[in-house]
Amino acid sequence: MSKIVRPSHIIGERGVNVFADYCNRHQPYIIWREETKNDFGIDGEVELTEVNEDGKIKPTSQTLKVQIKSTQSSASYIQQETDESFSFFPREEDLEYWKNYRVYGYDVLLVVFDGREGADILYCKKITNIDEALARPKGKRKSQPIVFSKTENRLVTGQHDFDTKYRASFKSRVNYQAAEVLDTNMFPFKAVPRWLYTYPTHYKTKKDIFKNIASGEAPYFVIYNSVIYTFVPIEKDFKPFYEHVVSEGQKRTEHRYTEVVDTATLRNHFVELLNEYLKDFMRKRGLYYQRDFRRYYFFLRKDQTEYKVPYRTRRAEKVTEKKVVEYYEYGKDNFFRHLAVAVKPLFIEDKVYLIVSPKYYFTSDRTAPLEPEKTTKFTNYLNRKTFNDGVVDQLHFWWHHLARGSHEATIFDGSTMNQPSILLSRPIDFTVSFGIPLDGEKVAQKKKAGSKSAPATPLPSLFDNQ
């Protein structure tokens, strides 16, 4: 069946465009930042501006999150309509999503776009604690709708009253008087090979080599255009392999690390070779590679319904066990959820970092992936509930698992084989001369955790001139 564009997508995009046009025409100008296209949550954020003494438009750092609900049907978001008002009944996941943003200090504007019969009407209302409380069913009490006034909550192009109505709801996005520590998912390699060796061969692919090679050990290597790339000179330690695959009379070419850094092709082969070592290392950590989704995931045996690994928590530093694979039943859906991770070696200037991105992998039988639409649904549900602290917790878990509680992760120990070792260090963090304010409970938590925080490392040189 050929792909189709659903009416819901068209009206949704139209609503976003009408709101963007409203912001663009407002005086003072309203900055509208649309989120990456998705179908599950916040559509973007608005930031107020002001005109300075020179007559130039200046952003104020005052922001609000925006969710836009668009309809062209009377049976959709606009219900219980009268000449003066209408009701909006939020879903439970909407309420949970808005609450999570509020916990982290962000207020949310709910914008309803009425596109019925060709209309382009916008209504806007700030979601409050009262709205959330009333909209949640409790006991025998039915949920109450969020009521929009067709006059007070209407946004009209040419009526420049948005900042008057909602300015009190804005919070400054950036505090330039307070420094803050930024965590990253960049794990620097502490040690990598300093030489890259190449050998001509009469083979075209790895498969051809292993199909015909005699018994014996082979080095880690990659092959491109009948050239073998490896981190070790193979004439001595892998002599049978060398004699079988290297073309007669041909010699190796040696490339210093500095040459690799300066040459895009060599950098690419260097990274691919690092990935060969990483695959073996990850397998030893109980992780299998899923080629289609380009991620490593915790494997589960056929006799298991869950899998746990030892783990030391980030805040309390408590040794416990973490479920990394678990069986779930949601309605008609039965599946296994595996913790997964995508890793990518990356050159930044003259250094190599491992970019670590926490992921999930959903399977129907421990190995076969779920259908893409279900995978997207479950992944979106988890991601929209995960904020900065949750991401930092995930990165902490992956470092603890990969390094097994040590101060460094040994990807490959070549010390006993006269080969170069590959070592990975903790993710970098660095200080910046600004901060993002938090409110209430989050401030208290940050102050409480502040005494335990390790000092941040200096800003990496790659950011110095940014």
- Model confidence pLDDT, tens digit, residues 307-332: 999 989 888 888 899 999 999 988 78
pLDDT of 465 higher than 50: no
The percent of residues above 90 in pLDDT, for the chain, comes to 51
Which residue, 351, 353, 317, 334, is CA-closest to 426? 353
The pLDDT value given to residue 325: 96
What pLDDT, on the 0 to 100 scale, is given for residue 240? 87
Is the CB of residue 299 less than 8 Å from the CB of residue 288? yes
Domain positions in the chain are: 7-173, 186-450
pLDDT value of residue 373: 86
pTM of the model: 0.63
Indicate the average pLDDT of the chain.
Answer: 85
Residue 44's identity, in one-letter code, is: G
Task: Give CA torsion, residues 48, 52, 55, 61, to 10 deg.
Answer: -30
Q: How would you class 85 by CB atoms within 10 Å of its CB: exposed for 0-12, middle for 13-18, buried for 19 or more?
A: middle
Return d(Cα 14, Cα 17) in angstroms, integer: 5
- Structure confidence by residue, pLDDT tens digits, 75-84: 788 999 999 9
DSSP secondary structure of 267-300: HHHHHHHHHHHHHHHHHHTTEEEETTTTEEEE--
User: Is the model's pLDDT at 55 over the cut of 70?
Assistant: yes
Classify residue 270 as left (phi > 0), alpha (psi -120 to 50) or beta. Answer: alpha
pLDDT tops 70 at residue 152: yes
Give the burial string for 289-301 (b: 16+ CB within 10 Å, else e): bbeebebbbbbbe
C-beta separation of 110 from 138 below 8 A: no
Answer whether residue 403 shows pLDDT above 80: yes
CA distance 351 to 181: 22
Q: If we measure between CA atoms, which residue out of 283, 263, 282, 259 comes closest to residue 193?
A: 259
Residue 138 confidence class, pLDDT cut points 50, 70, 90: low
Instruction: Summarize pLDDT for 73-112 with one digit per residue, the tens.
Output: 877 889 999 999 999 988 888 888 888 887 777 889 999 9
305, 320 contact by CB (below 8 A): no
**Confidence label for 299 from pLDDT (cuts 50, 70 and 90):** very high
